[in-house]
Amino acid sequence: MNSEMELMLRGYGLTTAHILYRLPDHPALLQTYVWQHYDLAPDFPEMKNFLKFWQDKLDGPLHSVSYVHKKLIRANEWRALKGEFILH
DSSP 41-71: TTT-HHHHHHHHHHHHH-SS-EEEEEEEEE-
pTM, two decimal places: 0.78
Would you kindly state where each structural domain of the chain is located, as residue ranges?
4-76
Helix (H) or strand (E) holding 75: none
Question: 6 by DSSP, 3-state: which?
Answer: helix
Give the model confidence (pLDDT) of 24-78 as tens digits.
Answer: 999 999 999 999 999 999 999 999 999 999 999 999 999 999 999 998 876 655 5
Mean pLDDT of 8-32: 93
